[in-house]
Amino acid sequence: MPTNNDIARLILRMTLGILMLFHGFYKVIHGIGGVEAMLHASSLLNFRT
């Protein structure tokens, strides 16, 4: 029989997994152009070499 700790861990893992899945879909669809532009503008890193 699952305890409350088991159920809480399951909910936490499912929530984090779903958030990571949506984040991955966004990166696949829209790419990393926004992060690339932000880093290039602040002169931290230049991907366009």
pLDDT tens column, 8-48:
999 999 999 999 999 999 888 988 888 888 887 887 776 55
Handedness of CA 37, 39, 44, 47 (dihedral sign): negative
Transcribe 17-49 into DSSP letters. HHHHHHHHHHHHHHTTHHHHHHHHHTTS-----
Q: What is the pLDDT of residue 40?
A: 79
Domain coordinates of the chain in residue numbers? 4-41
Q: What is the pLDDT of residue 46?
A: 63
CA distance 26 to 15: 17
